[in-house]
Structure 1
Amino acid sequence: MNEEQRAKDVDALMQWSDDTGINRSALERIFDGLEGAGDRGAPLQGPAFLCPGLEARPWHDPDHFPWVKVLERNYPDIRRELLEQSGAMSAHPESGTLAASGQWTTYRFFNLGRRYEENHAQCSATSQTLQQVPGIASAGMAYFSRMAPGTDVKPHCGFTNTRIRAHLGLVIPPNCAMRVGAETRSWEEGKVVVFDDSFEHAVRNDADSWRSVLLLDTWHPELSQHECRALSFLMTLWRSFL
């Protein structure tokens, strides 16, 4: 995010604040983040937009998020729908820049405020389960993510620390793992891992078969309701260049 874009976003958020009647003082952290003021993040944390004052940790405890149990309970139906749509995947938009090798494909449900209606209709169990995740329609993204054997996704940081990311393991062969910050973990079929993708992270699939997860974002739990509303508005602006 360059300085020109930051200035445009500040102006747009000021106008949005006036239009909605939300006092700008309630959005101080968002304005500080847009203006590049305050906290610069933890070690190995490097988002383009950093909201100061939010707890920063690479990995989060899934038990702190009630919706995790809903995802895990519906794992069989979600996995079935993934397999049914395996031929309808498209290349991940960042695969060309982030995948050092291999093939990375997706099947999208949400993307920065945009809802993929046809995909929801094709995957009703997944769609209904996603509705249980707070902020799912606006906090970021939700999609099936598949990585072919030999795929190596280079270290990178997500765009913002205002979202928390989760993966539900769907098809998990041995010899595949993800590093977030300084710690590497793998997935387990039917289980959710929760992490902050604004920390540097990298993924490898050294197995001889595909690795598949359901990826989704939710708002950072320390954000206020007003801040989530403001960020939902900003996400629609950021969609054009993310």
Structure 2
Amino acid sequence: MLAVIFEMIFVIGVMTFVTFLAYTMVLILKTFYVSRHPINVLYKTLKQVLFSNKQPEQTNYFPDLNGLDKELYRRLKEYCKHYSWSGMGRIVKAIYSPDCHRCGNTANTQSPNVLHLPGVETQLYFPLDILSYDIGILEKNYLVIYREFWKAYQSPAGTVWQTHDVSKGKCFAFCLFFRGNWVKENCQHCPQTHKVVRSLRTHVQGNVFGNARFLVLLPGTFTSDRHGDSNTRLRCHLGLQVPSDCELVVAGIPQCWTPGRCLLFDDSFIRSLQIEGDESEAPLVLFEVDLWHPDITAMERQAIDYLFAPR
């Protein structure tokens, strides 16, 4: 029995000694060989990733950014720390490239004022079936929206109206949703229209590019050439009251509204609007809603909401 015990102790001792020798050899090789071998680069990298809490420094890919560019890129990096850089390629290019944002140049046909995302399908007027669900909701509720507008128009007490700058004539806006924020006073006067807007799947609600409002343009009004803020949205006009002699011109192509029907266009293209007649005649009345362009992915929408969050 004692012999068996002594034999086990001997075996354990030998194994311990062998293990000690092996560990010592690893240390010697690490000191005199690994440090001089090219594989040391991989060794150090793995050691940093596996055993260090310190994050590796990120390369500054945008050394020449200034002003708003730097702020947008800073916010994008902040966003991607919480989510991911995956799917951000077009947004990165839009921030970095001077040709992709804050153009506002009336000499160019398409030149959004704030954000121009590359690779987005461009059309002047879009077919309504591209956003069929939301278009269907708006046209189905045409009479509800029309009645609530006239109620607010004829009894303006307690509501907020805005005057738009136009080249000629007068234009008034009654906003339910303005640059990413609900206008509570106006929503209370138009509860059904407010409900309709909230039911839209593609309404731009998380950033400053989103609006939902009534527009009233008196006869004799003309708006000179202008661009919208971004090509990530499409602007939808629901005709409520449409005089006979009026038109919207987008990049030189005219279109007219129809009562109860929607007109869907890309307002990042240069556009103008004109209504003939004098102020004694009926005005043009539209319900305007900004919808996401169908080419913008869910990840891009979420990032744009973060970058251009309303204040």
TM-score normalized with structure 1 length: 0.88
Count of aligned residue pairs for this structure pair: 230
Find the aligned partners of 1:202 and 1:218 in 2 and give their Cα distance: 20
User: Residue 140 in 1 paired to residue 140 in 2?
Assistant: no
Deviation of 1:39 (Å)? 6.3
Aligned to 2:198: 131
Output the amino acid matched with 1:47.
P
User: Residue 44 in 1 paired to residue 109 in 2?
Assistant: yes
Structure 1 residues 206 and 38: alpha-carbon distance in aligned structure 2, compared to 1, 3 A threshold: closer
Contact 2:160 2:186 in 1 (8 A): no
Structure number with the higher strand fraction is: 1
Find the aligned partners of 1:183 and 1:101 in 2 and give their Cα distance: 21
Aligned to 1:232: 305
Find the aligned partners of 1:177 and 1:73 in 2 and give their Cα distance: 24
Find the aligned partners of 1:168 and 1:3 in 2 and give their Cα distance: 40
Output the amino acid matched with 2:260.
G
Q: Report the aligned-residue RMSD.
A: 2.1
One of 17, 21, 25 as aligned partner of 2:86? 25
Runs of 4+ with >4 A deviation: 37-41
SS of the residue 1:100 aligns to: coil
Find the aligned partners of 2:308 and 2:285 in 1 and give their Cα distance: 26
SS of the residue 2:225 aligns to: strand
Aligned to 1:193: 263
Contact 1:113 1:232 in 2 (8 A): no
% identical aligned pairs: 24
Deviation of 1:90 (Å)? 2.1
Find the aligned partners of 2:221 and 2:284 in 1 and give their Cα distance: 10
Greater CA drift, 131-140 or 157-166: 131-140
Contact 1:158 1:198 in 2 (8 A): yes
SS of the residue 1:59 aligns to: coil
For structure 2, which runs of at least 5 residues remain unmatched after alignment? 1-64
User: Residue 173 in 1 paired to residue 243 in 2?
Assistant: yes
Contact 1:32 1:38 in 2 (8 A): no
Aligned to 2:282: 209
Aligned to 2:175: 108
Aligned to 1:10: 73
Deviation of 1:3 (Å)? 4.5
User: Residue 160 in 1 paired to residue 233 in 2?
Assistant: no
1:151-186 Cα shifts (integer Å, max 9, x gaps): 111111111100011000011111111001221011
